[in-house]
Chain A
Amino acid sequence: MVYDLIVIGGGPAGYLGAERAGQAGLKTLLIEERFLGGVCLNEGCIPSKALLHSAKICDYAKFGEKYGVTAKDVVLDHGMVIARKNKVVKTLVAGIKSQLKASHVEVVEGRAYIVDRSHDGYTVKVNNESFVGKRLLIATGSVPIMPPIPGIEKGLEKGYVLTNREILDIPQVPDSLVIVGGGIIGLEMASYFNSAGSKVTIIEMLDHIGGSIDREISQILLKNYQKKGIEFKLNSKVVEIHDGAVVYECDGKREAVEADKVLMSVGRRPTVEGIGLESIGVEIERGAIKTDDKGKTNRPEVYAAGDVNGRYMLAHTAYREAEVCVNNMLGKKDIVRYHAIPSVIYTNPEVAFVGETEETAREKGIDFEVAKVSMRYSGRYVAENEGGDGICKVLIDRKYRNIIGVHMIGNYSSEIIYGAGLMIEAEMRIKDIKELVFPHPTVSEVIRECIFQFED
């Protein structure tokens, strides 16, 4: 039997793509070697958010005096947090299983290897069984990058070096945790383990944290964290890892910090090896599958979505890319518009952003204007965030007067940002947004406040 579509990988890109294809009537097979739900559900977005929520509750309780609430003996029971996280993951994975079933998707467990292409389609081998599909959706995701630092391999073996996979299942809170890499994942983990009682140090090679986020927001986040007691070693490069210590170089000097555990989070790389891409000649560019904005690769009827294309390694991008792939398979023209994909850092305070930053806009030669207001313009923010120092920043295109970027730091921004994404994607102008009604009192009103700083 020949499938209309074989999906390789059961993460967000894979399972959603398979569901959509199945619902549209394509005879679909999904192959997953580990767990349905992929990184996102099992060792990424969801487990980390479950942990962070517990940390937030703990923080609220501990620092409740500011709001006139005193709680005594506040403890975070890490074991229970992990147990709850596992329950959350189990519930969601079960949901995906039943959703796939309802969409008539067949699921095979095992590692997929693409063998070749015949006139019938593409042959994929799993556990010595062959399957043929007219089309392929490659959604094999990504794995953590492990730079060749002396001591890493031994550390992984012995368990004092961890990746996101192990740390989200760690049974005990380490006394001291060194996080290598100050990107989104590193910061989220720092936030949790700081609240849970670890002495956390982040070592980052760049002079700022948060990767490509707005510089000013990066600064605010850094200060917030330092206040909480997280230590940062910026402009610092890790050169050696030992059981108990991490050695790094800063300004040409070698220094060391104590570490019970070391989390490696210097980025992720697409899973493009060992899946037989070479047998059908799929083009790889800078370690990722090369796709166009329809999700097509250079091979006919071979699509790729999610982290494996190396573009925006985010679950919601994976969802959208998978949908676009399936739409195009069904002959429906659809593209991913990458300029309006929001990103969130679910730390406390939350950071959310979408579109151009001042840096990227400048690089692209866009003529833009910026407006910036303090989160304190929002009544709700002031009422709920004692001493908070968040900001919201909006960028507009000077010529067309439409909104091209929004950057926020302050709680709730994760839930607000999609609205900003919509404004960007719909190319709403300042004067259009001025006509919108924002509920009061909400934190989202800061966007409106920013907008009124601009002339039409």
Chain B
Amino acid sequence: MATPVIMPRQGQTVESCVITKWYKKKGDTVKVGDLLFSYETDKAAFDEEAKAEGTLLEIFFDEGDDVPVLATVCVIGEEGEDISEFMPGGKKVPTTQGGVVEGEQQSGADNEKKEKIKGGTVTQEDGRIKISPRARNLAEKVGVDYREATPTGPNGRIIERDIRQLIEDDKLVTPAAREAYLKAEEVHISGTGIGGRVTTADVERMKEDKSREMVQPRIQERVAEAEYEEVKLSNIRKVIARTMHQSLANTAQLTIHTSFDATEILAFRNKVKEQGGRLGLENITLNDIILYVVSRTLLNHKVLNAHFLEDKMLIFKHVHLGVAVDTERGLMVPTIYNADGKSLNQISREVKELVEACRKGSINPDYLKGGTFTVTNLGTLGVEAFTPILNPPQTGILGVNTIVQRVKEVDGKIVTYPAMGLSLTFDHRAVDGAPAARFLQELKTNLENFDIFLAK
């Protein structure tokens, strides 16, 4: 005959207990004396051992459930036995037919590791947090801030295992820092002490830095109860999201990387810096130089100065160069029309005007379309290589990277040189790898021999 296991009554005033852990799952064989589950009251924790042997036929309560005393928690018996008489109200138990239903119905023990028990937010009664004395003791002993606990006890009460969870999540504070930390109220700080404990230095730093920049990143892991701010997407963000996604979804992109010796263009830029004013030259940047060289080099590689339109391609006679610009509102790509016909100084000036207009939000929308090839520069942010995303229907986009020091052998000696990276993404539907690589190769040669190139 099947034997029910009931929630023991622990003292006259105890109405219910919380199951904190299951050691067996449905279908397990149990022997007399095996640990079945642990449970706790507000004040104490207990283990329940099996008093009968057999198979664990059914479990009626999961971890975290608040079980009235004397209620049946589970049933031990022989496989196939009828247990319907023990079923408490509210919990559906499948009949023994059909493995499908069996599979869906998992006991709490099965879910043990996969899912954290969901809890509510900390409830306060008359301004006091509801916490069991056991939990409070433990919190004080090990030094966790129980205000950060997610209560899983009855009526939103914090119980011992909620504190254990905080310990597991490294939410600890050193003894010396505790008082100051608790006074600091609700500010989450990330600890730099042993095991991530919040230290006195962390508290001091937090006091200095009230600007809330210190919001603990780890807290974001607990998405369910983490604080967040909901931000509606701006239109520009929506457009960027759509085009970027469509770009990747609808084309065949790949990126190839190279680098070139930037010695010459660096020297050139310095010369302009020193003497440019006298000649009425703009403050020409490395990026301007690259735009200039790209606008010329593209003319020899027209498949990259093109639009790919599924059944045909538009090959352009002139280069209308898109320049990716980072603005507060998001990425914008204004166009330098007929860049191949403009001098370096003109390009430099025009880029500055376009960037300015984009940042101010006063850009003429005509300038945000019509590009035939795009250049994007993350080098100024220290990026060493990346995969730019095409601006369809364009067939190519060039990423400009930062300068790193490389070594090469010159006359048997190891010398260093500034290497600037280039990352070319192209649409493999329109362009093959080799022609794309040839463009990059010529670009590299032109940039490395910029003085001569200028003379052309």
User: Which residues of chain A have a CB within 8 Å of any CB of chain B?
Assistant: 115-117, 119, 276, 278-281, 300, 333, 335, 337, 397, 400-402, 425-429, 432
A428 pairs with B176, CB closer than 8 A: yes
B193 on the A face (CB < 8 A): yes
Q: How large is the interface on B (under 10, 10 to 19, 20 to 34, 35 or more residues)?
A: 20 to 34
Contact of B194 among A116, A279, A280, A425 (CB under 8 A): A425
A427 pairs with B405, CB closer than 8 A: no
How far is B195's CA from A427's CA once the two chains are assembled, in angstroms? 13
Considering the complex, which residues of chain B in the window 158-215 have a beta carbon less than 8 Å from any beta carbon of chain A?
A: 174-177, 180, 192-194, 196-197, 199-200
B404 pairs with A427, CB closer than 8 A: no
How far is B180's CA from A429's CA once the two chains are assembled, in angstroms? 13
B175 pairs with A428, CB closer than 8 A: yes
How far is B200's CA from A279's CA once the two chains are assembled, in angstroms? 41
Contact of B174 among A119, A278, A333, A427 (CB under 8 A): A427
Q: Which residue of A lies closest to B199 (CB)?
A: A427
In addition to A279-B405, A425-B193, A426-B175, 14 A-B residue pairs with Cβ atoms within 8 Å of each other are: A115-B407, A119-B257, A119-B385, A279-B407, A281-B404, A281-B405, A400-B177, A402-B174, A426-B174, A427-B174, A427-B176, A427-B200, A428-B174, A428-B175
- Contact of A427 with B180 at beta-carbon distance under 8 Å, contacts A116-B406, A279-B416, A281-B405 already known: no
Q: Which residue of A lies closest to B173 (CB)?
A: A427
**Min CB–CB distance A336 → chain B (angstroms):** 10
Contact of B175 among A276, A281, A402 (CB under 8 A): A402
Contact of B192 among A278, A337, A397, A428 (CB under 8 A): A337
Which among B193, B196, B257 has the highest number of chain A CB atoms within 10 Å? B193
B176 pairs with A400, CB closer than 8 A: yes
- Report 25 cross-chain contacts, Cβ distance below 8 Å, ordered by A residue: A119-B385, A278-B407, A278-B416, A279-B407, A279-B414, A280-B405, A281-B404, A333-B196, A337-B192, A397-B200, A400-B176, A402-B174, A402-B176, A425-B193, A426-B175, A426-B193, A427-B175, A427-B176, A427-B177, A427-B193, A427-B197, A427-B199, A427-B200, A428-B174, A429-B176
Q: Which residue of B lies closest to A333 (CB)?
A: B196
Q: Which residues of B contact A337 (CB under 8 A)?
A: 192-194
Q: Which residues of A contact B414 (CB under 8 A)?
A: 279
Q: Which residues of B contact A427 (CB under 8 A)?
A: 174-177, 193, 197, 199-200
How far is B202's CA from A279's CA once the two chains are assembled, in angstroms? 38
How far is B12's CA from A287's CA once the two chains are assembled, in angstroms? 73
Q: Which residue of B lies closest to A425 (CB)?
A: B194
Q: Which residue of A lies closest to B192 (CB)?
A: A335
**Min CB–CB distance B206 → chain A (angstroms):** 14
How far is B257's CA from A402's CA once the two chains are assembled, in angstroms? 55
Q: Which residues of A contact B416 (CB under 8 A)?
A: 278-279
A426 pairs with B384, CB closer than 8 A: no
How far is B384's CA from A276's CA once the two chains are assembled, in angstroms? 20
Q: Which residue of A lies closest to B177 (CB)?
A: A427
Q: Which residues of A contact B174 (CB under 8 A)?
A: 402, 426-428
How far is B192's CA from A302's CA once the two chains are assembled, in angstroms? 22
Interface string of B391-427 (1 = CB under 8 A from A): 0000000000000111100000010100000000000
How far is B367's CA from A277's CA once the two chains are assembled, in angstroms? 46
Q: Which residues of B contact A401 (CB under 8 A)?
A: 176
How far is B177's CA from A402's CA once the two chains are assembled, in angstroms? 9
Q: Which residue of A lies closest to B408 (CB)?
A: A116
Q: Which residues of A contact B193 (CB under 8 A)?
A: 337, 425-427
How far is B406's CA from A297's CA once the two chains are assembled, in angstroms? 17
Q: Which residues of B contact A402 (CB under 8 A)?
A: 174-176, 200
Considering the complex, which residues of chain B in the window 252-308 have a beta carbon less than 8 Å from any beta carbon of chain A?
A: 257
A397 pairs with B407, CB closer than 8 A: no
The 6 closest A-B pairs by CB, nearest first: A402-B176, A427-B174, A427-B176, A400-B176, A279-B407, A281-B405
How far is B257's CA from A278's CA once the two chains are assembled, in angstroms? 23
**Min CB–CB distance B6 → chain A (angstroms):** 41
Q: Which residues of B contact A428 (CB under 8 A)?
A: 174-176
- Contact of A278 with B405 at beta-carbon distance under 8 Å, contacts A300-B384, A335-B192, A427-B193 already known: yes
**Min CB–CB distance B348 → chain A (angstroms):** 28
B192 pairs with A426, CB closer than 8 A: no
Q: Which residues of A contact B192 (CB under 8 A)?
A: 335, 337
Q: Which residues of B contact A397 (CB under 8 A)?
A: 176, 200
**Min CB–CB distance A402 → chain B (angstroms):** 3
How far is B180's CA from A400's CA once the two chains are assembled, in angstroms? 9
A432 pairs with B405, CB closer than 8 A: no
**Min CB–CB distance B346 → chain A (angstroms):** 35
Q: Which residues of A contact B385 (CB under 8 A)?
A: 119
Q: Which residues of A contact B180 (CB under 8 A)?
A: 400
Q: Which residues of A contact B176 (CB under 8 A)?
A: 397, 400-402, 427-429
Contact of A426 among B194, B404, B406, B407 (CB under 8 A): B194
Q: Which residues of A contact B407 (CB under 8 A)?
A: 115-116, 276, 278-279
Q: Which residue of A lies closest to B403 (CB)?
A: A281
Which among B176, B177, B192, B193 has the highest number of chain A CB atoms within 10 Å? B176
**Min CB–CB distance A281 → chain B (angstroms):** 4
Which among A115, A116, A400, A401 has the highest number of chain B CB atoms within 10 Å? A400
How far is B405's CA from A70's CA once the two chains are assembled, in angstroms? 69
How far is B175's CA from A401's CA once the two chains are assembled, in angstroms? 10
Q: Which residues of A contact B200 (CB under 8 A)?
A: 397, 400, 402, 427
How far is B416's CA from A280's CA once the two chains are assembled, in angstroms? 9
Q: Which residues of B contact A279 (CB under 8 A)?
A: 405-407, 414, 416
How far is B201's CA from A335's CA once the two chains are assembled, in angstroms? 14
How far is B437's CA from A157's CA once the two chains are assembled, in angstroms? 57
Q: Which residue of A lies closest to B406 (CB)?
A: A116
Contact of B404 among A117, A276, A432 (CB under 8 A): A117
**Min CB–CB distance A189 → chain B (angstroms):** 35
Q: Which residue of B lies closest to A400 (CB)?
A: B176
Q: Which residue of B lies closest to A402 (CB)?
A: B176
**Min CB–CB distance B253 → chain A (angstroms):** 17
**Min CB–CB distance A328 → chain B (angstroms):** 14
**Min CB–CB distance A104 → chain B (angstroms):** 28
Q: Which residues of A contact B194 (CB under 8 A)?
A: 337, 425-426
Q: Which residues of B contact A280 (CB under 8 A)?
A: 404-405
Q: Which residues of A contact B405 (CB under 8 A)?
A: 278-281
**Min CB–CB distance B197 → chain A (angstroms):** 7
How far is B257's CA from A152's CA once the two chains are assembled, in angstroms? 52
How far is B174's CA from A429's CA once the two chains are assembled, in angstroms? 9
Q: Which residue of B lies closest to A276 (CB)?
A: B407
A426 pairs with B257, CB closer than 8 A: no
Interface string of B38-58 (1 = CB under 8 A from A): 000000000000000000000
How far is B225's CA from A351's CA once the two chains are assembled, in angstroms? 51
**Min CB–CB distance B246 → chain A (angstroms):** 28
How far is B177's CA from A337's CA once the two chains are assembled, in angstroms? 16
Q: Which residues of A contact B196 (CB under 8 A)?
A: 333
How far is B414's CA from A425's CA once the two chains are assembled, in angstroms? 46
**Min CB–CB distance B422 → chain A (angstroms):** 13
Interface string of B368-408 (1 = CB under 8 A from A): 00000000000000001100000000000000000011110
Which among A281, A335, A397 has the highest number of chain B CB atoms within 10 Å? A281
Q: Which residues of A contact B199 (CB under 8 A)?
A: 427
How far is B346's CA from A315's CA once the two chains are assembled, in angstroms? 61
How far is B421's CA from A116's CA once the two chains are assembled, in angstroms? 14
How far is B175's CA from A119's CA once the two chains are assembled, in angstroms? 47
How far is B414's CA from A397's CA once the two chains are assembled, in angstroms? 54
**Min CB–CB distance A360 → chain B (angstroms):** 15
**Min CB–CB distance A422 → chain B (angstroms):** 8
**Min CB–CB distance B415 → chain A (angstroms):** 10
Q: Which residue of B lies closest to A422 (CB)?
A: B194
Q: Which residues of B contact A115 (CB under 8 A)?
A: 407
**Min CB–CB distance A239 → chain B (angstroms):** 39
**Min CB–CB distance A337 → chain B (angstroms):** 7
**Min CB–CB distance A129 → chain B (angstroms):** 17
